[in-house]
């Protein structure tokens, strides 16, 4: 789920006060069916509680899960996830859940709805396409499940696998407080391919996401004997791993050092939590003989700083707001130089020039009478991810608002991702993002319904995702078969 095709898709749930992490992993059972595991980690402090008959307090989360294969619903469940009871009205600890769904190989669409039963906030809904493809005649590796903790256990619970109780870590963002990367994976069919009890290795390591190079000695090797299922329970100390983007790799390697199967998972590491940059943090930065020295107009600097928000971190966005509010030329020059120096130490000016070309392009194409192009949804996506591989025609179909669909072949470590933009005010050039299947973006299962002028006629039936087919309607075709 999604830094997201890591082991799983990971999504942050946030519906005003409710805060949770959702993810999934796929596994195989050579003597039975493959299965999908769904994990949920709820921030207890974000949950509304009610007093129980015992006088203590408890939160209740309603979870709905539906799995479809084509037009067929193969699994549907609604259940209540209750927090442990607490003597305090505000819950101090998180609580977790794991569900297992048996499936066949194939392409599925997963729908998840999460709501706080004691709150009036709207439920969070997420949809994700999932490929399950465990071949019986090939060595395969499961998804990599990140773990909060693991312990040997003979109990049979929803958290148990292979003789261990595995508490999922439902995020691929590793904060400074976590200094050990724990994970679980399974390798299948080594005995049928290599021969029963044949020797082989399971190798795991951390790779820098940008350079694709292994990061130091962060990894390990496990000598194994071929079995129908070989289990890897790994742990890598990452206390010295710097902030950045990484891949965790698991590989099956034969005695000739040939990689027979591999699986990777993307994660982000934060070595320290940054606070917004104050003016004194920049005061020692010299701008003399730098490219910002001649940018002396305050309004120009404000505009330049504002256009950086699509590629800024939360920390940088907060810092930029301070700079724009103070509007002090030298401080803005120092901030602007610091921003581009952190992107490209060798050529910060060249990095800015390349980015400004894209800013100029989106301002030309996507500006409105009251909004610059980089402030628009299309401008933000273009600047954050680069130009899409294809853009659908600007469709204005009968009974539907105008829309555009953007298609990216590659989006970081994701593939085949799309963005749907809708123009509810036909007289303007302002197209809002209403749906994307890219990790971290707004995901709206009912996006086709939102395109309709008559969307209010269809109520909140969860199965109704789009308006009936009608003459001239092409949105579903454009999304599934982009050109």
Is 6 within 8 Å of 128 (Cβ atoms)? no
Return the higher-pLDDT residue of 229 and 176. 229
Please give the pLDDT value at position 467: 53
Rg (CA), the chain: 25
Please give the pLDDT value at position 92: 79
**Closest to 393 measured CA to CA, from 358, 431, 363, 437:** 431
Please give the pLDDT value at position 132: 93
Dmax (CA) of the chain: 74
Helices (H) and strands (E) in the chain, counts: 9, 24
pLDDT band at 429 (very low <50, low <70, confident <90, very high): confident
Question: How far apart (Å, rounded) are the C-alpha atoms in residues 271 and 19?
Answer: 23
**Closest to 6 measured CA to CA, from 415, 406, 408, 435:** 415
pLDDT band at 193 (very low <50, low <70, confident <90, very high): very high
pLDDT at 3 over 50: no
DSSP structural state of residue 263: E
pLDDT at 462 over 50: no
- Domain positions in the chain are 1-133, 135-273, 279-372, 388-480
- Mean pLDDT (the chain) is 85
Give the mean pLDDT of 437-451. 85
Q: How far apart are the two ends of the chain, measured CA to CA in Å?
A: 26
DSSP structural state of residue 84: P
DSSP structural state of residue 452: B
pLDDT at 404 over 80: yes
Q: For the segment 240-272, what is each residue's pLDDT rounded down to a tens digit?
A: 888 778 899 999 999 999 999 999 998 888 765
Q: Give the tokens for residue 402.
A: 């105008």
Is 21 within 8 Å of 430 (Cβ atoms)? no
Is 395 within 8 Å of 478 (Cβ atoms)? yes
Question: How far apart (Å, rounded) are the C-alpha atoms in residues 406 and 385?
Answer: 11
Return the higher-pLDDT residue of 464 and 110. 110
Give the mean pLDDT of 29-44. 90
Prediction pTM value: 0.58
Architecture per CATH, 1-133: Sandwich (2.60)
Q: For the segment 53-62, what is each residue's pLDDT rounded down to a tens digit?
A: 999 999 999 9
pLDDT band at 473 (very low <50, low <70, confident <90, very high): low
Q: Which of 18-22, 363-367, 457-461 has the lowest mean pLDDT?
A: 457-461
Q: For the segment 306-358, what is each residue's pLDDT rounded down to a tens digit?
A: 999 999 877 788 788 888 888 989 989 999 998 998 888 788 999 999 999 99
3-state SS assignment for residue 147: strand
Which residues have C-beta within 8 Å of that of residue 477, sequence separation ≥ 6?
Answer: none
Do the domains 1-133 and 135-273 sit in the same CATH topology, yes or no?
Answer: yes
pLDDT band at 479 (very low <50, low <70, confident <90, very high): confident
Q: For the segment 86-123, what is each residue's pLDDT rounded down to a tens digit?
A: 998 888 788 889 999 999 999 999 999 999 999 888 88
Question: How far apart (Å, rounded) are the C-alpha atoms in residues 233 and 236?
Answer: 11
To the nearest whole percent, how much of the chain has pLDDT over 70? 86
Buried b (16+ CB within 10 A) or exposed e, 105-140: eeebbbbbbbbbeebeeebbbbbbebebebeeeebb
pLDDT band at 7 (very low <50, low <70, confident <90, very high): very low
Tell me the pairing of strands 72-82 and 140-141. Answer: unpaired
To the nearest whole percent, how much of the chain has pLDDT over 90? 51
pLDDT band at 281 (very low <50, low <70, confident <90, very high): low
CATH 2.60.40.2550 assigned to domain 135-273? The reply is yes
240-245: long-range pairs with CB below 8 Å, 24+: 241/206, 241/215, 241/269, 241/271, 242/269, 242/271, 243/269, 243/270, 243/271, 243/272, 244/208, 244/209, 244/210, 244/268, 244/269, 245/208, 245/209, 245/210, 245/269
């Amino acid at each position: 789920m999604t830094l997201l095709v890591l082991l799983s898709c990971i999504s942050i749930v946030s519906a005003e006060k409710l805060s949770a992490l959702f993810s999934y992993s796929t596994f195989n059972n050579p003597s039975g069916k493959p299965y999908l595991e769904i994990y949920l980690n709820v921030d207890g402090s974000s949950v509304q509680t009610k007093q129980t008959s015992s006088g203590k307090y408890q939160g209740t989360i309603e979870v709905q899960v539906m799995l479809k294969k084509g037009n067929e619903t193969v699994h549907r469940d609604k259940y209540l996830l209750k927090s442990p009871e607490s003597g305090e009205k505000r819950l101090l600890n998180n609580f977790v859940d794991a569900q297992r769904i048996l499936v066949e190989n194939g392409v599925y669409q997963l729908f998840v709805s999460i709501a706080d039963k004691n709150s009036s906030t709207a439920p969070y809904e997420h949809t994700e396409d999932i490929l399950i493809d465990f071949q019986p005649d090939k060595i395969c590796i499961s998804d990599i499940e990140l773990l909060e903790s693991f312990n040997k256990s003979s109990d049979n619970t929803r958290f148990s696998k292979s003789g261990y109780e595995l508490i999922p870590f439902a995020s691929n963002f590793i904060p400074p407080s976590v200094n050990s990367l724990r994970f679980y994976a399974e390798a299948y069919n080594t005995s049928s391919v290599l021969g029963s009890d044949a020797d082989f290795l399971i190798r795991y390591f951390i790779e820098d996401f940008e350079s694709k190079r292994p990061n130091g000695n962060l990894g390990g090797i496990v000598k194994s004997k071929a079995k129908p299922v070989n289990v890897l329970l790994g742990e890598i100390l990452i206390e010295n791993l710097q902030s950045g983007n990484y891949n965790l790799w698991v590989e099956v390697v034969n005695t000739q050092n040939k990689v027979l199967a591999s699986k990777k998972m993307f994660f982000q590491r934060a070595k320290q939590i940054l606070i917004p940059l104050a003016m004194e943090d920049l005061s020692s930065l010299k701008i003399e003989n730098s490219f910002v020295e001649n940018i002396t107009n305050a309004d120009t600097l404000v505009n330049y700083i504002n256009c950086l928000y699509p590629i800024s971190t939360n920390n940088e966005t907060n810092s930029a707001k301070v700079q724009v509010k103070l509007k002090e030329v030298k401080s803005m020059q120092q901030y602007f130089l610091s921003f581009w120096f952190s992107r490209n130490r060798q050529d910060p000016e060249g990095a800015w020039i390349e980015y400004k070309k894209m800013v100029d392009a989106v301002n030309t194409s996507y500006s409105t009478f009251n909004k610059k192009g980089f402030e628009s949804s299309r401008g933000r996506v273009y600047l954050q991810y680069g130009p899409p591989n294809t853009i659908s025609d600007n469709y204005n179909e009968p009974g539907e608002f105008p829309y555009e669909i953007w298609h990216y072949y590659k989006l970081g470590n994701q593939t085949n991702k799309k963005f749907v933009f809708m123009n509810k005010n036909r007289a303007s050039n302002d197209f809002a993002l209403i749906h994307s299947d890219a990790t971290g973006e707004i995901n709206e299962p009912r996006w086709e319904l939102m395109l309709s002028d008559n969307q209010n006629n269809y109520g909140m039936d969860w199965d109704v995702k789009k308006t009936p087919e009608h003459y001239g309607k092409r949105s579903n075709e454009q999304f599934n078969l982009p050109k």
